[in-house]
Amino acid sequence: MGLVGAMIDSVPSRSLQGVLWMLASGLFFVGVTGVVRYLGTSMPAAQSAFLRFGWGVVFLLPSLIVLFRSGLPAGTGRLLLGRGAVHTVAVVCWFYAMARIPVAEVTAIGYLNPICVTIGAALLFGEKLAVRRIAAIGVAVLGALVVLRPGLREVSSGHWAQLAAAVLFAGSYLAAKQLTLRMQPGAVVAMMSLTVAIGLLPVAVWVWVPVTLTQVVWLALVAAFATAGHYCMTRAFVLAPISVTQPVTFLQLLWATLLGAIVFNEGIDPYVMLGGGMIIGAVGYITWREAVIKRRPVTPVLDEVKG
C-alpha cells in the first residue's frame, strides 16, 4: 500500500511540475518577444535574426561537432536545407512583425501555428481531419479575424508578416517531424540553427548597419531565452500530459499583453484577448482530442493504427 500510495501521490506532483515548467517556458518566450520589441527597428530584421541565430550556433556548437563527426543520415540533406530555407524566411517575417505591431498581437497571431500544422499534416501527409477538428480550425480562423479586424482598422505589413510567419513556421515544424524519424531531436535543432544562420548571412550582409556591443549582447540574451524556453517546454511534456500543460499557454498571451502595456505603453486590446482566447481554445481542443485518441486501447485482433 505504501508504494501504491506514493505512486498515486506522485501523479499530481508531476502534473504540477509540468505546469510550472510550462509557466517558465512561457515567461522565457515572452522575454524573447520583449527584447526583440525593445530593439525595435534599430537594425534590419534579417540582421537581428542573423545575430540571434549566430549566437544559437555558438550555444549548439558541441552538438554540431558531434553530428559532423558521425555524419548526416542518408537522405536528410535536402530536407535539412529545405527546412532551413523555410525557417529563414519565417524568422525574418517574425522579427519584422515583432518590431512593428504590439507584443500581444504578435503572440495571439502566433498561436495560429499549430492550426497551420494540423492543416499541413492533412494536405501533405494525408492525416484525417475529423469534423470536430475542422470545427476547431474554423473557430481559430474566426479568432484570427477578431484579432485583425479587417475592414474595421488597417491591417499593416507587420500583421501580414506575422501571418506569413505562422504558416512558414508550420512548414518548418512538419519538416522537423520528418527529420526526427531519422535523426536525434538535438541534432535537428542544431542543424536548424546552422542552416538558418547561413541562410540569413547574405541578406544580413546586404542590409547591414553598424551594430553596438549592447545590441549584440541583447540578441545573445534572445538566443539564451529561446533555448531555455524550448528546454522548459520539453521538461513540461516529459512530466505531464500535453492536455494538462497546453491550457497554460494562454498565460503567455496575458503576460505579453501586460509586458506591452507596462514596458512599451501599448494599450490592452480586448479584441486581441478575445481572439487569442478563441485560437488557444481551438488549439487546446485539438491537442486534447489527439491525447484522447492516443490513450485508446488498440484491439489486437484488428491490428490497425488510427490517427
Q: What mean pLDDT value characterizes the chain?
A: 81
| Count of Cβ atoms closer than 10 Å to residue 41 Cβ | 10
How large is the average pLDDT for residues 145-150?
A: 86
- Amino acid at the residue 244: V
Query: What pLDDT does 237 receive?
Result: 66
Residue of higher predicted confidence among 115 and 301: 115
**CB-CB contact of 30 with 252 (8 Å):** yes
| pLDDT at 2 > cutoff 60 | no
Confidence of residue 293 (pLDDT cuts 50, 70, 90): low
CB atoms within 10 A of CB 195: 20
Helix (H) or strand (E) holding 85, with range, is helix 77-98
Instruction: Check whether 159 has a pLDDT greater than 90.
Output: yes
Q: Mark 219-229 as b/e (b = at least 16 C-beta within 10 Å).
A: bbebbbbbbbb
Choose the most confident range, by mean pLDDT, from 11-25, 51-65, 77-91, 229-243.
77-91
What pLDDT is recorded for position 100? 86
pLDDT in the model for residue 300 = 41
**Cell 497546453 belongs to residue:** 246
Q: Are 259 and 121 in contact (CB under 8 A)?
A: no
Task: Give percent of the chain above pLDDT 90.
Answer: 19
**What is the arithmetic mean of pLDDT over 222-231?**
83
Lowest mean pLDDT among 1-15, 27-41, 124-138, 140-154: 1-15
Confidence of residue 89 (pLDDT cuts 50, 70, 90): very high
Q: In this predicted structure, which of 89-93, 248-252, 272-276 has the lowest mean pLDDT?
A: 248-252
Residue 245 has pLDDT above 70, yes or no: no
Helical axes 131-148 vs 103-110, angle rounded to 10°:
160
pLDDT in tens, 46-66: 999 999 889 988 888 888 888
Across the range 217-224, mean pLDDT stands at: 91
d(CA 186, CA 67): 10
Quote the pLDDT of residue 213: 93
Query: What does pTM read for this prediction?
Result: 0.78
CB 176 within 8 A of CB 192: yes
Lowest mean pLDDT among 102-106, 144-148, 228-232: 228-232
